[in-house]
Amino acid sequence: MRRRNFIKRLGFAAGAPIAFHGVPLQILASHRNLQELAAQSSNDRVLIILQMHGGNDGLNTFIPLANYDEYYSRRANIALPYKSGLRTVIPLDSTIADSDQIGLHPDMQDFKEMYDRGKAAVFQGVSYENNNGSHFRGRDIWFMGGDADDYFSSGWIGRYLNQEYAPLSYPDDFPSADMLDPLALEMGNDVSLLFHQTGNIPTSISLGSGPSGLAALVENLEGFTDEGIDPRGTPPAFLNNSAYGKEMNWILGLEDKSEYYIKRLAAIYESASETKVTYPEYYPFNAPAGSRRNNLNGQLQLIARLLEGGIKTKVFLVKIGGFDTHADQSESYDSTMGAHGALLYHISSAMRAFDADLSQRGLAQRVLTMSMSEFGRRIHSNGSYGTDHGTGGPVMMFGAGVKPGVYGTNPDLSQNNVQMQFDYRQIYANVLNEWMGVEPQVITDHIFFRDFISGPAPDGSNYEPMDLIKETITSGSDFLRAKYKIDSLYPNPASNYTQANIVVNDYQAVTVELIDMQGKVVMRTVRNMSPGKHIVTFQLNNARPGIYFVKAKSQKLNDTKRLFIRK
């Protein structure tokens, strides 16, 4: 390939990405100081931002069970069934306050599994003041980290990266020996404001072949010699100080980086193993043909493999579109199926598979994923089995490090829009502080220009630290045991009977056994339990005095308590 054609294919002006292993990538690498930041970071944690493009309908994602009747009346043509039907709302957490009770869309069973295992959380009513429900403006605001009337030329991640080091010369000083990898990678064909820095342009290239093909292309590049100037294609010396010469050298510097990154990413990718986890590829129910395939899987599989290969990239942006559901959000004959259900299935199933993939690679404790969507939808549905642009909506968080739970409460359904409970920058600021280790003052002074962790809020109250991240990152088994357990045995000691008070947080067939000291099952019963508390009674009239054990077990429950029987 002639070098002139190679440069033409790079498409720097258009900001086109690398298509790496079938996934387009944007590379943010505008200064060596950014690379050094990753190399010198106080931790090896990774942040993934999951963009739900189009404005997600939060009320059919997390259904308000506490006021379900009002929910149904406001959107009867798309409302999801609760307690009746073959596919019904999945209650998320029976242990929280009644007013906060929410259910999941029936296609979010994998979210439920992750939540129960302590690896998922939801934040209700996330927005910003004066949200105008615009796609383009809304995305810019979420990406730049400003108010509705701000027009920053940089994004909050770009500022997070840039504030650590003073700008150095680009492209001459890049990359450095301390950091060989891009600090941030963006999936997709767009260049998002999220990674921009004031006065800097993110570097991006576009090549349409897999990792091995990319490396081979670089190795076989030919300098263009058709004009007899220079095999490398540099302008003649007398143009060095001209505007043309400087611009050409800048382009050639970007070209050098594209060659380097292609080789580097290919080497990292090839050094890691293929995934051994099955990522569900298709939505198993009825939906438009364009919604059935999961486009998130390839992005997450690529990240998992690059991380195992040793990439030091700190921030990734992955994308899934289709959430602009003005019409045909659900099937007219079954509100549980359709385009929106398929998208929610894709996210929850892909995130569960991604967590399993990371766990097998020994990386699960390093990665936190946070969703964002430019706005929510209106509380009432429209006549086209859809929802129109709204304001507030939910944010999801996934990973072994997140403190699971429901943050905030159900919205006031008498309104037209979901009201704001959290400014989106509260969540961002606390994630930067708790997960990435950024000092609060740095966040206030250089990233969001206001104290969203402990400063004054517009309504006269004070923001409070959100405590989103576990102090010790574990598998989440403690959270699971708190939701599925034998809460108590009463009476204990017992003589005639005892009652096992059992807590479950899902629909479970639970086996409850009375076991003697020799391990013999003396009594056994199987109960189908719904989320909540249940009492199982054992009559002990024929049991001999001594020490026994009551054991309860199901798919998620495995608990045992000691029982003393006396006569």
**What's the pLDDT score for residue 42?**
61
CB-based burial label for 186 (10 Å; 0-12, 13-18, 19+): buried
CB 429 within 8 A of CB 453: yes
| Number of H-type helices and E-type strands within the chain | 13, 21
Secondary structure of residue 250 in the 3-state scheme: helix
**What's the pLDDT score for residue 565?**
96
Give the 3-state secondary structure of 12-37: CCCCCCEEECCEEEEEECCCHHHHHH
Query: What span, in angstroms and rounded, lies between the C-alpha atoms of 483 and 530?
Result: 12
pTM for this predicted structure: 0.86
Q: How many residues does the chain have?
A: 567
Angle at 314 between CA 350 and CA 172, to 5 degrees: 135
State the amino acid at position 180 in one-letter form.
Answer: L
Spans of the chain, pLDDT less than 70: 1-42, 161, 163-179, 189-191, 197-236, 238-239, 243-258, 261, 475-476
**What's the pLDDT score for residue 40?**
47
**What's the pLDDT score for residue 25?**
64
**What's the pLDDT score for residue 194?**
85
Domain ranges of the chain: 3-447, 484-565
Eight-class DSSP state of 462: B
Of residues 34, 310, 368, the one with CA closest to residue 171 = 34
Angle at 257 between CA 14 and CA 183, to 5 degrees: 85
**What's the fold here for domain 484-565?**
Immunoglobulin-like (2.60.40)
491: region left, alpha or beta (phi > 0 left; psi from -120 to 50 alpha): beta
Query: What span, in angstroms and rounded, lies between the C-alpha atoms of 307 and 381?
Result: 42
Q: Give the E-state strand segments of 267-387 in sequence order.
A: 315-320, 367-372
**What's the pLDDT score for residue 264?**
80
Query: What span, in angstroms and rounded, lies between the C-alpha atoms of 565 and 555?
Result: 29
From residue 543, alpha-carbon distances to 50, 372, 381, 387, 499 in Å are: 57, 58, 60, 61, 15
Q: How many CA atoms lie within 13 A of 115 on its CB side?
A: 25
**What's the pLDDT score for residue 269?**
87
